Amino acid sequence: MNASVNRSAGGNAALRLRGVDLLAGGICLLFASINLVFTGTHEVELAGLSFDRNASVAALWFACLPAILLLVRTYARRSGEPLGFIRTFYVQAMYALFFPEVIYLSQRIAGGASFDAMYYRMDEAIFGFQPAVELPAMFGHLRWLNEIFYFAYFFFYLLITVGQWRLYLRGRDNRVLIARAERGLFIITASFAILYVWYLVYPVHGPKYYIESLRQVWYSDLDGYLFTWLMRLLFDNSNLAGAALPSSHVAVSLIAIELNRRWNRSMLPVLAPLTLLLIISTVYLYAHYVVDVFFGIAVAFVLFPVSAALYAPVERLAGRIPTGWVAAPMRLPKRRRCVPTELEPEP
């Protein structure tokens, strides 16, 4: 099946917005609106010029909306690869923009306050000590072990992406696999979106910010190799204080594992043990309290069915947006796209 046939198989599929486009646009609108509320409260300097941080960033978030439409329009006109891959998965690149913005806005909304004290005490009550302090203190001299946990923490970004990529690349001649890739992408993005809203109103900074001894050492006690360097670089240049509870690393990882269990089962022997190490790494690298992990596991059981249930109605809503707003008219068969309403298991 060539690209043009595949494109028209869903009935004007290339000309329409998808549910994940609405999610991405909605998150951008939310962030832009909150930034406007704080206009005039934060000045930054760039190249010797002073800017209102919130007004400038609000304008950039608003600009993302026509940028998304432009991408859809370009794909509708040209189709083909690698443009189809970019059009489908562009939102994954936006995760890297969404998360730090959530942190910044949560701190603005809460005035820097957090609910850490409650969860610090919960870990103390459960274990009689702080696992985020004691685990690296006991094993942090083992460079090879540190490297494993740094890699496991990094592995999160692979876990939430490569499963959908594999389905998409295998599905060039199979619309079912393409649909599964798009649906999995929506479910993970919707799960993130729900967590973003929660983090905005309920900030928990995490052990490395709340516990003074951990903030003082700041990973200098956990030497390793390549992934140690990479993750230290990320930690040193990112403000991550505000999105600890529930752990998105844990919640979204479990959702990704479930999606791969259904549609990429052959990958599970590799993905499952790495995911377990990932969950442990969130405490070992003192990013989370253990109770953050417990809540992340519990939340995954709620987020998955909710995000999956949102897929069909949001896709239908996206399909009702006039395609003239998105792309120039093209002569493709006018058929109604069938949106699956349930997640079928891998045959």
| Each residue's pLDDT tens digit, 237-249 | 888 888 999 999 9
Range of the domain at 115: 3-325
User: With 60 as the cut, is the pLDDT of residue 339 above it?
Assistant: no
For the segment 88-95, the average pLDDT, to the nearest whole number, is 96
Q: DSSP for 130-170?
A: -HHHHHHHHHTT-HHHHHHHHHHHHHHHHHTTHHHHHHHHH
- Residue pair 11/179 in contact by the 8 Å Cβ criterion: no
User: With 50 as the cut, is the pLDDT of residue 7 above it?
Assistant: no
Q: Quick one: what percent of the chain has pLDDT higher than 70?
A: 88
Extended beta strands in the chain, E state: 43-46, 49-52
Total Cβ atoms within 10 A of residue 165: 16
Q: Is residue 338, in this structure, part of any structural domain at all?
A: no
User: With 80 as the cut, is the pLDDT of residue 12 above it?
Assistant: no
Rounded (10°) CA dihedral 135, 136, 138, 141:
150
Q: How far apart are CA 296 and CA 301, in angstroms?
A: 9
User: With 90 as the cut, is the pLDDT of residue 218 above it?
Assistant: yes
User: With 70 as the cut, is the pLDDT of residue 282 above it?
Assistant: yes
pLDDT in the model for residue 291: 97
pLDDT in the model for residue 89: 96
User: First CA to last CA across the chain, in angstroms?
Assistant: 22
- Residue 46 has phi, psi (to 5 degrees) of -145, 120
- Residue pair 150/164 in contact by the 8 Å Cβ criterion: no
Q: Is residue 117, in this structure, part of any structural domain at all?
A: yes
pLDDT in the model for residue 190: 98
pLDDT in the model for residue 219: 94
Name the domain count of the chain.
1
Which residues, listed in sequence order, are joined to residue 51 by a DSSP beta bridge?
A: 44
Q: Is residue 341, in this structure, part of any structural domain at all?
A: no
User: With 50 as the cut, is the pLDDT of residue 341 above it?
Assistant: no
Q: Is residue 251, in this structure, part of any structural domain at all?
A: yes
If you average pLDDT over every residue of the chain, what do you get? Answer: 89
Q: Is residue 32, in this structure, part of any structural domain at all?
A: yes
Among 15-24, 136-145, 148-157, 205-214, name the one with the lowest average pLDDT.
15-24
Sequence length of the chain is: 347
User: With 80 as the cut, is the pLDDT of residue 260 above it?
Assistant: yes
User: With 80 as the cut, is the pLDDT of residue 1 above it?
Assistant: no
Q: Is residue 11, in this structure, part of any structural domain at all?
A: yes
pLDDT in the model for residue 13: 61
pLDDT in the model for residue 49: 84
pLDDT in the model for residue 328: 53
User: With 60 as the cut, is the pLDDT of residue 333 above it?
Assistant: no
pLDDT in the model for residue 8: 36
Q: Is residue 342, in this structure, part of any structural domain at all?
A: no
pLDDT in the model for residue 3: 43
Q: Is residue 330, in this structure, part of any structural domain at all?
A: no
User: With 90 as the cut, is the pLDDT of residue 266 above it?
Assistant: yes
Q: Which of 71, 95, 293 shows the shortest CA–CA distance to 189?
A: 95
- Residue 264 has phi, psi (to 5 degrees) of -135, 50
User: With 60 as the cut, is the pLDDT of residue 177 above it?
Assistant: yes
